[in-house]
Amino acid sequence: MTNSLLQKLLGFDADKMKYRTEIVAGITTFLTMSYILAVNPTILATTGMDKAALFTTTALVSAVATLLLAFMAKLPFAQAPSMGLNAFFAFTLVQAMGYSWQTALAAMLVEGVIFILITFFNIREMILDSIPMNLRHAISAGIGMFIAFIGLKNAGIIAANPGTFVTLGPFTPSAILGMMGILLSGILLVKKVKGALFYSIVICTIIGIPMGVTQIPHGFMPVSAPHSVAPIFWKFDFSHFFSFDMAIVVFTLLIINIFDTLGTLVGLATKTGIVGKDGSIPHVKEAMMSDAIGTTVGAIFGCSTITTYVESASGIAEGGRSGMTSFVTGMLFLLALFFSPIFLLIPSAATTGALVLVGVFMLDSVLKIDLGDISEALPAFITIIMMVLTYSIADGICMGMLCYVLIKLFSGKFKDISVTLYVLAILFILKFVFG
């Protein structure tokens, strides 16, 4: 490709940027976020979905969404299944609320289509403005805590107890491997190793072989043709879709996706130095649209909601400044399709370190919560703790928003409550009373 064509397609300016820098940045971003290839199939497979098909879908949809962003937004960001909404899909929609994974995929599809529409018509600002800033930060922190809890549970580090509900689990090989993964992930991150979470998963998978946790099938080959997505492709069930609960679910998916994507885009754009003096971000609408299209395509292929990854910051730190960076990352996701046997070896305990550290990363949102004002701090706290204790992201958000409206209402702080929040509070009360 000529320089002018690259600039037109990917925003690569040969006068200001270097090929090698953009390529290295793309590889770095891939290594940093490639743990999703192991973690996402593991989480979604708990719903009964085919794990091999899930790997193909995860790699394929991550590649498509990232390449869309490269060409549409021309920004050095990467996209993949959200490490919060995949948990919402598996542990809230399917396990807690009892929906089939086919119905959950239908919710993802509808949310993706709505996301496309509100992005196209610029409605997202109105939705964002209706949710208090402190609750936005609490939602992010709460999801982080929830993801970490899932990681601890999957390894058996935390176990069920009839007297105390949860307790420290027995020191089984799986639990020990999970603990090792947490420490190893932390140490590698402290040492600033690029792709620390990815390397932690690989090392723990290898250590798990003599421990009996990692099971190698007979006739194992590291490379193979991609597994078929047929078991999960276009598997939508709308028979139980039209209900009040499902309306809340789609709204929750939409809100989390908007906050997650916009928050990440703002943070990453700041790191690249492209934010305007008025706070505007070039091509932000295109970035949001690639996210929305990726989510819709992902649902068709049997995957949970797509989002922009904060791990893209690692590639930006290496000097990535254009869509060339995300193009390289997207192509590496396509290449990973042929290494599914290696990724499918990975036991859930080997991903515990990655899940817990993702929780640590997301916890930094707590620092942005106004803890000096109880009318702000209490709803934020309720949001976070109820996500974990109810094992439901949706219930945590519902309880947090309801607490916000009630405490502001009875404290006389009426101006802090938007009309949208009043409506939501009434809907949440009806849900809890009649649900």
Residues 143, 135 contacting (CB under 8 angstroms): no
Q: Which one is predicted more confidently, 311 or 30? A: 30
The least confident of 55-69, 231-245, 367-381, 415-429 is: 415-429
Asked if the model's pLDDT at residue 235 lies above 90, the reply is yes
Integer Cα distance of 67 and 294 in angstroms: 10
pLDDT, residue 231, reads 95
Please report, rounded to a whole number, the percentage of residues in the chain having pLDDT higher than 70.
93
Q: How far is CA 282 from the centre of its chain?
A: 23
Asked if residue 430 has pLDDT above 90, the reply is no
Average pLDDT, the chain: 86
pLDDT, position 126? 65
> 357 pLDDT band (50/70/90 cuts)?
confident
What's the mean pLDDT in 86-110? 91
The secondary structure of 365-393, three-state, reads HHHHCCCCCHHHHHHHHHHHHHHHHCCCH
pLDDT tier at 156, thresholds 50, 70, 90? very high
Helical H segments across 219-351, by residue range? 244-272, 284-300, 312-317, 323-336, 340-345
C-alpha 343/C-alpha 63 separation (Å) is: 16
Non-local (6+) Cβ contacts of 101 within 8 A are: 44, 47, 48, 49, 89, 94, 235
Question: Range with the lowest mean pLDDT among 135-139, 298-302, 421-425, 430-434?
Answer: 430-434
Phi then psi for 237, rounded to 5 degrees?
-125, 110
Residue type, 136: R
Exposure letters 153-173 (e unless 16+ CB within 10 A, then b): bbbbbbeeeeeeeeeebeebb
Across 373-388, average pLDDT: 93
Q: 79: which strand partners? A: 308
With cut-offs at 50, 70 and 90, classify the pLDDT of residue 60: very high
Higher pLDDT, 127 or 303: 303
Is the confidence at residue 313, as pLDDT, over 90? no
Q: Nearest-CA neighbor of 88 among 424, 407, 411, 397? A: 397
Q: Cα(26)–Cα(34) distance, rounded to whole angstroms?
A: 12
- pLDDT-derived band at 177, boundaries 50, 70, 90: very high
Mean of pLDDT values over 101-118: 92
DSSP letter for each residue of 49-109:
--HHHHHHHHHHHHHHHHHHHHHHT--S--EEE-TTHHHIIIIIIIIIT---HHHHHHHHH
Percent of the residues in the chain that have a pLDDT greater than 90, as a whole number? 36
Identity of the amino acid at 105: L
Q: What is the pLDDT of residues 185-228, one digit of tens each?
A: 899 989 988 778 878 888 999 999 999 999 888 888 888 888 89
Q: What is the pTM of this model?
A: 0.74
In sequence order, the 6+-apart residues with CB closer than 8 A to the CB of 296 are 109, 112, 113, 115, 116
Q: If you compute the radius of gyration of the chain from its CA atoms, what whole number of angstroms results?
A: 21
Q: Which residues contact 373 (CB under 8 A, 6 or more apart)?
A: none
The predicted-structure confidence for 1-35, as pLDDT tens digits, reads as follows 567 788 788 887 877 878 888 888 888 788 778 88
Name every residue whose Cβ is closer than 8 Å to that of residue 55 and which is 6 or more positions away in sequence.
37, 41, 227, 340, 343, 344
Cα separation, 194 vs 163, whole angstroms: 43
Give the model's pLDDT for residue 133.
81
Provide the β-strand partners of residue 307.
Answer: 80
